[in-house]
Structure formats: structure tokens, C-alpha cells
């Protein structure tokens, strides 16, 4: 199938006004931009998005340092700096709202109202507008006014209690997962609202929160409590409901395996000389209850085999397996590049840089072509597109930024 594509993406022609900052809202906006929407990022004059100062690492010349954090969540956007407490800033935002399909914001509940842009007023300006609003702990309820920061919510929403080497070792996930998940859920919700708008002609408000996003991915750990009455706790790198499934030591290293069915277990045990007839190994439930004995048997079988030959032997037997890669290994991996997960863009200060790429691909099976949008632009400098956007709003220019079509 051909990988050639001239598509701008399924959201080509949609306009998104992104009032958000930090990570949750900007990640949602970037997802929409990756899909072809025109995303105009509204930033505070002088300082811009908070993440422009989050570092190190910073890269670039000493007098124009760029935060790699900001670069991670703002590709394919335009930037305009507006003081929303000034008459000019309010007027420009009003003009943008009247033209927009979507508005994204992650202020604390009530802040947008105090700025004069309550949801009711936004829908007076544009009844078709879909508003995505992301908060920390929810927009109502007894703790709605709390500030939502990722690690705090990871703890409050139970995720840290499930992560770590054991119950006494709670750990945060290595990326701001509450922020990222709330952005993803938010993008999912607003796309549903855009679909409903096709039927009703009306926009609506979509709300989610960091708290909701983390609780929303409790998955089987949640039902362990709500249905079975158990309170799960961290137990390191082994699955709480499947055995053997996890990280195991071998000669000079470690490998991961996933033995997720009885057929796989029988194959695995026979391949590595493990006595599968032992009563404590008779079924998955017994192996989970006797996890330490399973771990000991597996690691004894692996003790004289180095990681790469072991992985080959596991693959030959059809056992799902892998290693733990560092990020330099991940971004050098041919499979990652084959999936479009690294994109090159031209940054006005840094020149050509590589960024983690979007995780979705699109295909036209009738034509046998990939229609994924490949035209990516670098995260913008503060107010980089402000002049062009103002000209477009006033009718004196096209508003077309380099690489971003109005």
C-alpha cells in the first residue's frame, strides 16, 4: 500500500481556538492539529504558555532558549499573544470565537467566566461552538476549586498506590499520564460533540478532568475493588491477575514475557523444562496465588541464558516477549520510524528538529493509499502568527501561516 499522501487530515477546515496551557489542554489541541484542524494557540503576552519556561533541558542559542517540554505538545499550531484583560485582547478573542468550531480551555472552574467568556456567552457569540473544558478535580462537587497538577492527581486518584515495587513504595508514572489522558479523553469527547452538531446544528460543552481521566483507566483494578471488594496495591513488575506475566531476570539482564493463556503456558513450560503438572501451577488462578514460586521457576530456567538468545528462543516458541528499551533505543528503532512516530520539522530558531510523531494513521482502501497528514509544522514561537491572524480577522489578509492553511 502506498504511503504517499496529500491529505491534510479528516479535520481539515475546522478551526480550534486553544486557550489552554501546560499539558492537558495543549495535548488535546495538538491531537486536533495532527488531524488537520487549524489550531490557534492564545498565549499570555511576554511569557506565553507556562511550559515555555519548564526546564532544563532548553535548546538553542543562549539569547533564545527553547524548552523541550513546550516542543512536546504544540506542534502544528499557530500562536497569538492576547491580554484577555484588555479591550483589544477581548475583541480579538471574540472575533476568533465567532469563527471557531472548537474552543479548548483548562482554567480553574470559574476563571473563564470572570474573564467575560462564560459558556453561555460563548454560545451567544457562536451557537455551533464546541467547548472542551478540562479541570483538575471536576467542575463541580466539594473539591472543584482545587488546582490540578499531574503528580498530585496521580496520588489522589489511586494510580500511585498501584505503581511501584510494593505497597510501601508508591511511584508516579514516568510521564504526566493524568494530563495526557485527560487531553485524550477531552479530544475524544469533543469529536463526539462535533458529530452530534452535524445532526442538531448546536454546539455544547464537553467537560473532563485529570481525576476523571485516571479513574477512567482503572480498568480491572477498579473492578477488583467495586465488584470483588479488594483494595489493590503496587506489586512491582508482575501482573496482578496473570502469571507468569512480567519482568524476569536472566543471565546478565532481564526480559519481559506475557503468558496469557493455558496453551501458551503449556508451550512455555515445555520449552523451558518447567514441570507444569505441579499443583501450584495447574491453572492461572493457582499460578497467581503462588506467584513467587512461579517467578522462582521461570528465573531458574532463564539463569544460564543471556537476554538476546533468550528473546530469540521465546519468539521461536511463540511466547510474547520483549526487552526494556531506553528512549535512545526507542527513537533509533526501525519499527518506530516505520509507523511515522518520529517527524522532522523546521523550527524558526532551532532549524530542523525531530519530534515524537502522532500515533494515528489513515488509509483509503479503495485507492490503496495512506491518507495520513504528513505536513507537520514546528511548535510556534510566542506570537509568531499574531500579525497574520489579526490581518485575517480584519479581512486585510489571508491569515495563512507558513505551512498552516487558513
Q: Are 108 and 22 in contact (CB under 8 A)?
A: no
Q: What is the CA radius of gyration of the chain?
A: 25
Rounded (10°) CA dihedral 13, 95, 70, 397: 70
- Give the strand pairing for 363-364 and 369-370: antiparallel
313 CB-near residues (< 8 Å, 6+ apart): 271, 305
Q: Is 346 a catalytic residue?
A: no
Alpha-carbon gap, residue 29 to 187, rounded angstroms: 8
* Set of cell numbers at residue 35: 488531524
Query: Which grid cell sits at 108?
Result: 480553574
**From 18, 34, 101, 179, the catalytic residue:** 179
Q: Measured between alpha carbons, how far is residue 1 from residues 271, 365, 368 in Å?
A: 38, 9, 5
Length of the chain: 406
What distance in Å separates the CA atoms of residue 299 and residue 355, rounded to the nearest whole number? Answer: 38
Q: Which residues contact 117 (CB under 8 A, 6 or more apart)?
A: 84, 93, 97
Write the Ramachandran bin of 236: left for phi over 0, alpha for psi from -120 to 50, otherwise beta. left
Beta pairing, strands 351-356 & 342-347: antiparallel
Helices (H) and strands (E) in the chain, counts: 16, 15
Cell 521457576, residue?
297
According to DSSP, the residues that pair with 206 across neighbouring strands are 132
Residue ranges of E strands in 51-173: 58-59, 66-67, 77-81, 102-105, 130-135
**Preceding peptide of 57 cis, ω within 30°:** yes
- CA 372 – CA 282 distance, rounded (Å): 48
Closest Cα partner for 345 from 384, 403, 287?
A: 403
Residues tagged active-site? 179
Amino acid at each position: 500500500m502506498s504511503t504517499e499522501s496529500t491529505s491534510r487530515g479528516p479535520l481539515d477546515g475546522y478551526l480550534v481556538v486553544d486557550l489552554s496551557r501546560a499539558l492537558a489542554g495543549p495535548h488535546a489541541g495538538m491531537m486536533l492539529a495532527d488531524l488537520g484542524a487549524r489550531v490557534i494557540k492564545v498565549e499570555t503576552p511576554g511569557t506565553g504558555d507556562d511550559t515555555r519556561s519548564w526546564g532544563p533541558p532548553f535548546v538553542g542559542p543562549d539569547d533564545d532558549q527553547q524548552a523541550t517540554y513546550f516542543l512536546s505538545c504544540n506542534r502544528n499550531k499557530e500562536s497569538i499573544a492576547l491580554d484577555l484583560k484588555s479591550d483589544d485582547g477581548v475583541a480579538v478573542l471574540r472575533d476568533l470565537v465567532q469563527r471557531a468550531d472548537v474552543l479548548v480551555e483548562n482554567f480553574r472552574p470559574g476563571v473563564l467566566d470572570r474573564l467575560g467568556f462564560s459558556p453561555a456567552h460563548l454560545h451567544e457569540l457562536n451557537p455551533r461552538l464546541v467547548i472542551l473544558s478540562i479541570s483538575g478535580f471536576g467542575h463541580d462537587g466539594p473539591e472543584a476549586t482545587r488546582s490540578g497538577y499531574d503528580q498530585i492527581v496521580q496520588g489522589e486518584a489511586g494510580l500511585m498506590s498501584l505503581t511501584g515495587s510494593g505497597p510501601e513504595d508508591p511511584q508516579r508514572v514516568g510521564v504526566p499520564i493524568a494530563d495526557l489522558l485527560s487531553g485524550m479523553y477531552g479530544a475524544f469527547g469533543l469529536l463526539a460533540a462535533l458529530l452530534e452538531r452535524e445532526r442538531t446544528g448546536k454546539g455544547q460543552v464537553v467537560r473532563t478532568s485529570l481525576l476523571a481521566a485516571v479513574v477512567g483507566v482503572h480498568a480491572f483494578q477498579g473492578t477488583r475493588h467495586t465488584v470483588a471488594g479488594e483494595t489493590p496495591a503496587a506489586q512491582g513488575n508482575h501482573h496482578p491477575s496473570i502469571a507468569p506475566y512480567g519482568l524476569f531476570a536472566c543471565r546478565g539482564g532481564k526480559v519481559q514475557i506475557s503468558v496469557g493463556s493455558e496453551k501458551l503456558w503449556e508451550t512455555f513450560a515445555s520449552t523451558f523444562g518447567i514441570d507444569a503438572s505441579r499443583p501450584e501451577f495447574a491453572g492461572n488462578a493457582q499460578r497467581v496465588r503462588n506467584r513467587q514460586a512461579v517467578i522462582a521457576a521461570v528465573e531458574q530456567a532463564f539463569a544460564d541464558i543471556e537476554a538476546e538468545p533468550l528473546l530469540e528462543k521465546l519468539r521461536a516458541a511463540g511466547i510474547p516477549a520483549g526487552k526494556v528499551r531506553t528512549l535512545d533505543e526507542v527513537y533509533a528503532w526501525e519499527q518506530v520510524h516505520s509507523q511515522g512516530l518520529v517527524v522532522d520539522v523546521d523550527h524558526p530558531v532551532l532549524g530542523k528538529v525531530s519530534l515524537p510523531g502522532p500515533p494515528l494513521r489513515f488509509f483509503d482502501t479503495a485507492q490503496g493509499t495512506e491518507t495520513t497528514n504528513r505536513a507537520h509544522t514546528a511548535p510556534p514561537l510566542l506570537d509568531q502568527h499574531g500579525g497574520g491572524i489579526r490581518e485575517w480577522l480584519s479581512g486585510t489578509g489571508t491569515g495563512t501561516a507558513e505551512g498552516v492553511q487558513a
